[in-house]
Structure 1
């Protein structure tokens, strides 16, 4: 039982680190790719002729707008191949735009399939496989490497910080980078990161 609690705690830490280290303003958002979960749900909804599979991706206050876009899309899809492609694209864009608005994130257009950060793809794989172990190892190693690299640079520049103003400034720069990195990690662990 202890092992499961530890894995759950580490998974939460990994998620929190990912929230800060891989924020949407640093990386392409997964939900705005043509192979992401939002567009995948939209494809299922269009195939079934049922909007229900996409509603979980939008806040309740936007549901009517999505239902309306779905209804319009379904009406146009039967008017030929080009009309179907255009209608589907309209629905994907509308859905992703509204989903992103619900996250408080800007909509910058649909990205091609495969345009997702590797860490996000690995997060999806962890959910698909039901195991977070590989993801925990990947993120833990990346965080450890980031701390060690910044620490090493700071400690090396500290040795020469009093030799000249220029070398002192090099140390201060390394010191600030090291501590800000730690601060971002700590904020993520405490839950102050943004999606």
Structure 2
């Protein structure tokens, strides 16, 4: 009877894993197979300690995660194939609920090694080495280059023939991108960070065109 129940559970987990794993993209490094949430999930399963993953979800989700954890532990005992699928189901469930708790969308797990640009590795390395200076230098270099480039482009287009509407529009576009870029940096620095931010694959600093 016990084995029969495990097989039923395994079938249910397989279905859920298929449903939750259809998308190939996600929005944050927390969604990747080598991200901190999945890392915590692997440790929890290895040590049989659900507390290692509960810190990644909201208190209201403790029961759901604990239930999924217990089901996963049971199915892992069947065979290596069941173990692999059960683990993936748990990873998907944990990350999905983690994202929902932060008010962020979940669109599937990203493969290990996904490039999120230099900022995420820098922040993680800073915590590992207890040295935040490289992070500050990275931000300073990126923002300075962005401001200088946009400023230079705007300044070059500032003096235009007032009867040349096309040139005037070129200046306005450059001006809006320049001022919005500076404002976005200032506003981000002045506001308290909270919740999730849409971390995408590596890309250059985005300008902020007028809409």
| TM band (smaller chain) | 0.7 to 0.9
Partner of 2:155: 155
Question: CA offsets, 1:91-127, max 9 Å, x none?
Answer: 0000000001111110010001111412111111111
In 2, Cα distance between equivalents of 1:107 and 1:159: 47
How many residue pairs match? The answer is 169
What is the deviation of 1:187?
Answer: 1.1
What is the deviation of 1:162?
Answer: 2.7
In 2, Cα distance between equivalents of 1:69 and 1:168: 60
Partner of 1:35: 34
Compute the TM-score of the two structures, normalised by the length of structure 1.
0.83
In 2, Cα distance between equivalents of 1:121 and 1:161: 47
In 2, Cα distance between equivalents of 1:103 and 1:159: 47
In 2, Cα distance between equivalents of 1:161 and 1:51: 68
Change (3 A) 1:161 1:170: farther
Partner of 2:43: 44
Q: Confirm or deny: 8 A CA contact 2:31 2:108 kept in the other structure.
A: yes
Partner of 2:80: 81
Question: Over the residues paired in the alignment, what is the CA RMSD in angstroms?
Answer: 1.5
In structure 1, the gaps of 5 or more residues are 1-26
In structure 2, the gaps of 5 or more residues are 1-25, 198-211
Q: Which ranges of 4 or more aligned residues in structure 1 deviate by more than 3 Å? A: none
What is the deviation of 1:159?
Answer: 1.9
Partner of 1:176: 176
Alignment of 1:109-148 (within 5 A): 109-117=108-116, 118-148=118-148
Greater RCO (CA < 8 Å, at least 6 residues apart): 1
What is the deviation of 1:161?
Answer: 5.5
Partner of 1:108: 107
Partner of 2:165: 165
In 2, Cα distance between equivalents of 1:152 and 1:133: 28
Compute the TM-score of the two structures, normalised by the length of structure 2.
0.77
Is 1:71 aligned with 2:70? Answer: yes
Q: Which has the larger share of helix?
A: 1
What is the deviation of 1:163?
Answer: 5.3
In 2, Cα distance between equivalents of 1:41 and 1:172: 49
State the secondary structure of the residue aligned to 2:85.
helix
Q: Which moved more, 1:108-117 or 1:89-98?
A: 108-117
> Who wins on radius of gyration, i.e. which is larger?
2
Change (3 A) 1:44 1:161: farther
In 1, Cα distance between equivalents of 2:145 and 2:136: 14
Q: Confirm or deny: 8 A CA contact 1:33 1:116 kept in the other structure.
A: no
